[in-house]
Structure 1
Amino acid sequence: MSDLVIRAATGHDVDGVLDFWAEAAEGTSISDDRSGVNALVARDLHALLLAERDGELVGTVIAGYDGWRCHLYRLAVCPRQRRQGVAGALLQAAERRFAALGGRRADAMVLDHNAPAHSAWTAAGYGSEPQWSRWVKHLS
């Protein structure tokens, strides 16, 4: 994986990230737009992690920390780059970030019907907790 570079996104990356998510991420969110991603990058300069290979964006993860819990969103890998360690490298970078911030527990939002993602999260050591439900309210 030595040719893979993990770095924090900047405001200059926003349009490329949105294009990438349209191709590589399953589904979209109400905040998957320029203003939403710009707000994320402005609020926490290190939350949106990008994986690049030969200057090409091949993966993303949002590693958010609210001071209490660590939250993972938008783990996405370019379809041509899957099963090559990109997701694992992104998760390791996110977990290093969380450890440096003092985070002790991470959770991930994963679509119920995305079986390949469930396998990837399980392989990375994450487990589902059926006693918890996630409730979502769109605020705009």
Structure 2
Amino acid sequence: MGTATPSVTPYLTVADGRAALAFYAEAFGARPGLRLDDPAGKVVHAEMRIGEAILMLAEPYPEMGISDPRALGGSPVTIALMVEDVDATVARAAAAGARVLRPPTDEFYGHRAARIEDPFGHAWYLASVREALNDAEILRRWQAMVGQA
């Protein structure tokens, strides 16, 4: 973490940085990295690792045009997270305060997937691979499902 990050790294804005770090650790097993707090205790930058992915977060800075999803009425962005057991992960996230938007369901593209909203307004697509499918099979299944076959 620190200066060596992947070329695309989600940077979440959350109303309560300390609570968000605790939620992500409990729900997704996030491991903490660099954290910078201002003298008043506001999280101005924090890094965490979920599996091999790095996420960053900070609390809002309206004076800099940085707001959290709840202040904006929600977010159109969904974060995709592949997990070993989607049912268990959704249960853990719900117990930690997430709202289940769509319970785990077996999908035509081979995933068992769910959608949740974390307590800070960020949407997450959580999935486990049930079948390893190639693009041609996914396309075939899609076309059959929507009546284009």
TM-score, structure 2 normalization: 0.29
**Structure holding more helix per residue:** 1
Q: Which has the higher strand share?
A: 2
Q: Which has the larger radius of gyration?
A: 2
